[in-house]
Amino acid sequence: MADEMLPAELLTALNEQFPCRAPQIRRLAALVGTDETPSPPSIVLHGLEATGKTTVLRTFLDGVRASYTWIACHECVTVRQLMERISAGVTENVGGVDAGRAGDVCALGVKLSGALSGVERKHFLVLDRVDRTKEGSSVLLAALGRLGEMIPSLTVIFILSVPKPRLLSSAEPPHIHFAPYTKEESIKILSKYVRRIPFQDIEEYTEEDAKEELYVWQKFCGTVWDSLAKGTARGIVQFRAIVDEMWEPFVKPIAEGKYGTRNYSSLYLLHKEMFRQETNVIDVVVPVVTGEKAVAKMHDLPYYSKFLLCAAYLASYNPARQDAVFFMKSADFGRKKRRGGATGPTKRTAKNRKIHRRLLGPQAFPLERLQAIFAGILPHRISSSADIQTQIATLTSLRLLTKASATDVLEASTKWRVNAGWDYIRHVARSVKFDIEDFIAE
Amino acid sequence: MESTPPEEVYVDEFDPKEHQGCYIFTPDGEEDRPTKRRKTKGKQRAAEKTAIVEEKCPFPVLLDGKETESTLRLRYRTYCKLWEAQEKRTKAILDSFNSKTLDDVSAFVKDATPEKYEGKIPTALVLAGPNIASHELLFQQLAQRIRNQDKTGPVVALASKDATNLKTTLRKLIRDATQQDEGVDDEEEDIIRKSTKLLNYDLQILQTWCESHEGQKVTIAIQDSEAFDSNILSDLISLFSSYLDRIPFVLLVGIATSVEIFHDKLPKSTIRLMRGNKFDVERAEECLAQIFNDSMTSDKAVLRLGATVCDFLLERYRDHTQSIQAFVAALKYAYMSHFYANPLSIILGFIDNADGLGEVLSAEHVEAVRNVPSFRRYVEGKMAAKEVGEVRKLLTDDNYVRRTVAEKILESRNYGIELGQALAFLEIGRSCTLIQNKTPRYELYAKALSGELQTSPSVRDFLMSLKRMNSTTLLNLLEKVMQEVQAPAITEPLRPLQEKIKKLVEEAEASGGKKNLISEFDTTNNTLRGTAVSKKVRLGEQKSSLTKQDTEYSALVQQVYTISESYLTTNFNSSQHGLQNVLLHEILFYDLRSPHSAVFAPRPRSTIERGLSQPQDYLACSCCTSADGEEVGIRGTQPPTSIIYQLYLESGALINIYDLWSAFYSVIAGDEEDFDVPTAQALFYKSLAEMRFLGFVKHTKKKTDHIAKLAWKGI
């Protein structure tokens, strides 16, 4: 530890543990160094999700036995909580006495300089995921950066995903970029965790088998990357999750002895469908089990709620001036309008508005319009009772209908908006045998 | 004086001193107030006393004020007793109903560890259906189960109304979680919190708590995920996920719509943090069926609903609410309103034991019994049967009527029970056939009461397919009927037949190994042959292909068919066995629709619109109604607001105030040349203000001197 340079064994061990991060580790070694070498007041580590920022730094600091305080900023709900954590953490690690709370950055500066004044060793304050602090402003980061300048023995290390220029409003601190892994790097990393092929008829696991497995695994990782992960899951963690998910069904024929390990291409052809569908890429809470769909018990909305929802959709996506065309019960009115509309104005609007209304998002509408459309699309007349109002309220608390203006709910001019997609609405409309397609304006 | 909060300042007690910066305080003013206060206190106490007395019996005196105090009390007590029994049974059904979901979810919580779910938060998505009212009950049951029975750790229920921002949500979560245990080490907790001086929304508090309570899971139940702000929800979930290595969280998420909508609501990075399973809550219809069967068709039910109320309730359930709670509330209302307004309802208290009924019924009660339509029909029936002595006694002898009522009420009650059994038989029978639409019992009930069932296809289809049944299905059906229907009228004659068929099947099995005997009426196999002649030919062929056992079996099927047919037709026959022939059915069946629709589905909007556009309907004054009762237009004699409203109906979306005023003036002035303009203006302003308060018009900036129309009539 007393040497000027870091021991070479440590670096080799780290490089072994974290492949493809050699430049970053070298830079860290230079900046963090040992207790004798000076460190800059602040360091910024940046890089996208799952590029090893946190793990590398933590292992490195542990490896060189530096004195450091680790603060997980994303766990802090307020700035005050963050400040208190920092002050508590530093005092605890340095071994000073607890001298009250530090509610803001100024108090924190005073406290930390007090706590670190008598300390000989360098101290590192690591702010992990500092960009995910819930309340933080840009000034906060700059102020925290100053801490390192005010207190000589302190170095503040920021870990964040994307740095902004002039992030700390001071002379640029050294940045270490953790670049996203490329395809080759990803496969190299994943090769450290080769999953076994669950061979059925095997007595002993030999060196040969391990080699074969590595071969299939690397080939397989490459295929997954090219077909799925390249576009959807570039983070190493996500990539690994997909590979894990797909591995077992993929090697099943090998495990059963139907395929050899070396004819990968025919195995790929067998599973071609697997790389086409996206089920493994889409994140869901409940994993989809194939063949389960038969027992789908749908919870149903009440009959009139469904019509209300359809009416809300129509009110949101149809222009109000066309309501008479679609919902007037007397037939001749609609025809006249339609014929008239076919000549002049339609051509002009067609030129101007090319975007489909569905893509423009739901428009706000007054409740009166919803009720009028509701009355218009019902197959039979019902007089509006309190039950209809209750259902509107229920749809609101289900967030299928949302309030779009800040005024009171009871006010007649309050606007509303539908909050359900076309697929859902079409499904609802079909269940009450309502041809919603006929009423949608093109 | 100045410290008096504004809500206690009464307008009539206006004291100018209170608005001066400095004044001399005179104590006699103080004397005034306490005496007043005392007075009101005394009054209150007196009111409370009377309230206690009244509370005992909030029902009015009926029978033209001649009902005695004791029968009044009895009526109320009977109501309380009967409803209590019914409510208890309903509650038991509701409690047991969610049991499967509860079992599943509690098993999930017991097993859940992050390791099992790839280091993600174990999450149970509870699909609870769109009936929000029932969610609270379900989540309460879940929390109780996990907290008290499974003892896996604290359960925190988060509702959207508590979660206005992240800080308060966390504060509530931590408080609820740490204070739920036995309270033995509360002091210890306080010490921990004080020594570390953590903020009260810091999850580290919960972390320290978890360290001292090894093996406890923290279950977070999010009851209404839809109503949650999605930012707060995703912040919460990412916080949980980052603490997951220190605090073993388990999430329960209540979803009213669908999993897809839940997925759409949250960012993908948040969804990635959760992994788990989904749990479907039993559909509400099954719960409704159970409660309905218990309250309408079981033999425990005393008061039943008639066809119209039943239709109304079911329709409201299906089309509007889908809420069991609303149904139960309506049922309670039916009980209440029956006992509230029907003096004869006291008879229901003696339904199990008719002793003492005779003494309770006063002369007025007997008179009321004689006025009931079903009694009149009964007497007319006797008359037609030439039992003149009987009729004379019924009409003149009060004691004889009392005895008859005591005797017949049980008989009438049996009508309801028998009907329920017949419906149960029909439902079970239909469930064993291949009939596509399985109409539940509650749908059939109303039809049966109104006498529609006798000729309906439901019965016909069932009897037809009964004839065609093979032996396996038939035995299955008979077995179910024997188990679930307690009506000797049907089970007694069917039992020997069941035995015979069983024996026949055994014989067939022993001889030829054929397990399934086919009825000769079964023609499902040869539907390919379309023409009548070819069918005949096939029938002949089929008959010849039948074995000896098959033929015997067919004879037995024929017998089952005959028995079932006669049983169903007697029970559903409206002319002989209909509801109107049941003596005193008015007491046993509640069938008034209007109180329910007025209370549960009022129509405020159309009522206001009618009141304003046709004030004569409410005022019934001679000036506004024309001689022949026809509708009249706008008249100056109508209330001014009504005039404005009718003018408003005729206008477009924007109304020019001056036009409206001149129209109003010409109406209100009528033929009078010199109507006072200031008076008319005052009326105009007042009515317009009323229109604004009712929410019909609004000030607008779109056009000067105009107001915007907000409501259209008849929507």
Q: Which of B199, B278, B692 to mutate to test the interface with A (most CBs of A within 10 A)?
A: B199
A285 vs B322: CB contact, 8 Å cut-off? no
B201 vs A371: CB contact, 8 Å cut-off? no
Interface of A with B in 200-239 (CB under 8 A): 238
Smallest CA–CA distance from B708 into chain A, residue: A413
Superfamily for B112-282? P-loop containing nucleotide triphosphate hydrolases (3.40.50.300)
Q: Does A386 touch chain B if contact means CB atoms closer than 8 Å?
A: yes
Chain A and chain B share a number of CB contacts under 8 A equal to 146
Q: What is the 3-state composition of chain A as percent helix, strand, coil, each rounded to the nearest 5?
A: 55, 10, 40
d(CA B87, CA B57): 20
Q: Which residues of B347-371 are buried (b: 16+ CB within 10 A; e: fewer)?
A: bbbbbeebeebeebbbebbbebbee
B199 vs A78: CB contact, 8 Å cut-off? yes
d(CA B173, CA B49): 44
Structural domain boundaries of chain B?
58-96+283-454+578-600, 112-282, 474-572, 603-709
A297 vs B283: CB contact, 8 Å cut-off? yes
Spatial strand order of the sheet with A415-418 comes to A365-366, A415-418, A401-403
CB A37 within 8 A of CB A95: no
Q: What count of Cα atoms within 13 Å lies in the side-chain half-sphere of residue B288? A: 25
Smallest CA–CA distance from A307 into chain B, residue: B319
Q: How confident is the model at residue B535 (pLDDT cuts 50, 70, 90)?
A: low
Closest to B641 in 3D by CA, of B673, B594, B680, B688:
B688
Facing B698 at nearest CB: one of A372, A412, A424? A412
> What pLDDT shows up at residue B437?
67
pLDDT digits (tens, 9 = 90+) for A311-368: 999 999 998 888 888 887 665 444 444 444 444 444 455 556 567 777 888 999 999 8
d(CA A73, CA A400): 35
Distance to chain A for B609, nearest Cα, Å? 12
d(CA A321, CA A399): 27
Q: What do you get for the CA distance between the two ends of chain A, in Å?
A: 74
Smallest CA–CA distance from A301 into chain B, residue: B130
Beta carbons within 10 angstroms of residue A130's beta carbon: 25
d(CA B281, CA B138): 9
Q: Which of A74, A237, A299 to mutate to test the interface with B (most CBs of B within 10 A)?
A: A299
pLDDT above 70: percentage of residues in chain B: 84
B320 vs A302: CB contact, 8 Å cut-off? yes
Q: Which fold has domain A303-327+358-439?
A: Arc Repressor Mutant, subunit A (1.10.10)
DSSP string, B255-315: ESS-HHHHHHHS-HHHHTTEEEEEEEPPPHHHHHHHHHIIIIISTT--SEE-HHHHHHHHH
Give me chain A's average pLDDT, please: 82
Facing A75 at nearest CB: one of B130, B239, B262? B239
A387 vs B601: CB contact, 8 Å cut-off? yes
> What pLDDT shows up at residue B526?
47
Q: Which residues of A17-48 are buried (b: 16+ CB within 10 A; e: fewer)?
A: ebebbeebbebbbebbbbbeeebebbbbbbbe
Residues in chain B: 715
B118 vs A241: CB contact, 8 Å cut-off? yes
Contacts of B203 in chain A (CB under 8 A): 75
Closest to B275 in 3D by CA, of B102, B103, B112:
B112
Counting DSSP H helices and E strands in chain A, the numbers are: 18, 8
pTM of full prediction above 0.90: no
Q: Which of B134, B257, B264, B316 to mutate to test the interface with A (most CBs of A within 10 A)?
A: B257
B322 vs A301: CB contact, 8 Å cut-off? yes
Angle at B178 between CA B172 and CA B184, to 5 degrees: 145
Q: Does A10 touch chain B if contact means CB atoms closer than 8 Å?
A: no
* Greater model confidence, B423 or B536: B423
Residues 6+ apart with CB under 8 A from B30: none
Distance to chain A for B233, nearest Cα, Å? 14
A285 vs B263: CB contact, 8 Å cut-off? yes
Beta carbons within 10 angstroms of residue A174's beta carbon: 13
Q: What count of Cα atoms within 13 Å lies in the side-chain half-sphere of residue B400? A: 10
Smallest CA–CA distance from A397 into chain B, residue: B227
At residue B624, does pLDDT exceed 70?
Answer: no
Interface of A with B in 301-340 (CB under 8 A): 301-305
Structural domain boundaries of chain A?
8-177, 183-276, 303-327+358-439
Contacts of A412 in chain B (CB under 8 A): 695-696, 698, 710-711
d(CA B274, CA B222): 14
Beta carbons within 10 angstroms of residue B550's beta carbon: 23
SS3 B246: coil
- CATH number for the segment(s) A8-177: 3.40.50.300
> What pLDDT shows up at residue B35?
46
Predicted complex ipTM exceeds 0.90? no
pLDDT digits (tens, 9 = 90+) for A117-167: 877 888 899 999 888 887 777 788 888 888 888 888 889 999 988 888 778
Looking at residues A53-59, what average pLDDT do you find? 90
Q: Does A372 touch chain B if contact means CB atoms closer than 8 Å?
A: yes
Q: What is the 3-state composition of chain B as percent helix, strand, coil, each rounded to the nearest 5?
A: 65, 5, 30
CB A373 within 8 A of CB A327: yes
Torsion over CA: A74, A76, A77, A79 (sign): negative
Q: Environment class of residue B647 by beta-carbon count within 10 Å: exposed (0-12), middle (13-18) or buried (19+)? A: middle
Closest to A402 in 3D by CA, of A358, A363, A373, A434:
A363
A412 vs B711: CB contact, 8 Å cut-off? yes
A124 backbone dihedrals φ, ψ, rounded to 5° = -110, 130
d(CA B315, CA B450): 16
* Greater model confidence, A203 or B62: B62
At residue B556, does pLDDT exceed 90?
Answer: no
DSSP state of B149: I
d(CA A31, CA A48): 21
Contacts of A375 in chain B (CB under 8 A): 714-715
Pick the CATH number of B603-709 from 1.10.10, 1.10.3470, 3.40.1580, 2.60.40: 1.10.10
Contacts of A400 in chain B (CB under 8 A): 226, 257
A56 backbone dihedrals φ, ψ, rounded to 5° = -60, -45
At residue A171, does pLDDT exceed 50?
Answer: yes
* Greater model confidence, B413 or B252: B252
B201 vs A385: CB contact, 8 Å cut-off? no
Torsion over CA: B673, B677, B680, B684 (sign): positive
Facing B202 at nearest CB: one of A81, A285, A410? A81
Facing B170 at nearest CB: one of A77, A398, A421? A77
Side chain identity at residue B563, one-letter code: I
Smallest CA–CA distance from A92 into chain B, residue: B196
Looking at residues A52-75, what average pLDDT do you find? 89
Q: Which of A32-46, A94-108, A249-263, B478-492 has the lowest mean pLDDT?
A: A94-108
d(CA B663, CA B636): 11
> What pLDDT shows up at residue B446?
84
Q: Does A281 touch chain B if contact means CB atoms closer than 8 Å?
A: no
pLDDT digits (tens, 9 = 90+) for A256-274: 878 888 888 888 888 888 8
A424 vs B261: CB contact, 8 Å cut-off? yes
Contacts of B281 in chain A (CB under 8 A): 299
Element of type H or E holding B708: strand B706-709
Q: Environment class of residue B61 by beta-carbon count within 10 Å: exposed (0-12), middle (13-18) or buried (19+)? A: middle
Distance to chain A for B571, nearest Cα, Å? 33
CB B497 within 8 A of CB B466: no
Look up residue B6 and give its two tokens: 């504004």
DSSP state of A104: S
d(CA A85, CA A123): 16
Q: Environment class of residue A314 by beta-carbon count within 10 Å: exposed (0-12), middle (13-18) or buried (19+)? A: buried
Facing B127 at nearest CB: one of A299, A420, A421? A299
pLDDT digits (tens, 9 = 90+) for B279-329: 888 777 888 888 998 888 888 888 888 888 998 999 888 888 888 888 999
Distance to chain A for B153, nearest Cα, Å? 23
Q: How confident is the model at residue B190 (pLDDT cuts 50, 70, 90)?
A: low
A285 vs B271: CB contact, 8 Å cut-off? yes
Give me chain B's average pLDDT, please: 81
Side chain identity at residue A47, one-letter code: G
B603 vs A383: CB contact, 8 Å cut-off? yes
CB B89 within 8 A of CB B273: no
A77 vs B243: CB contact, 8 Å cut-off? no
Looking at residues B211-238, what average pLDDT do you find? 88
Interface of A with B in 120-149 (CB under 8 A): 134
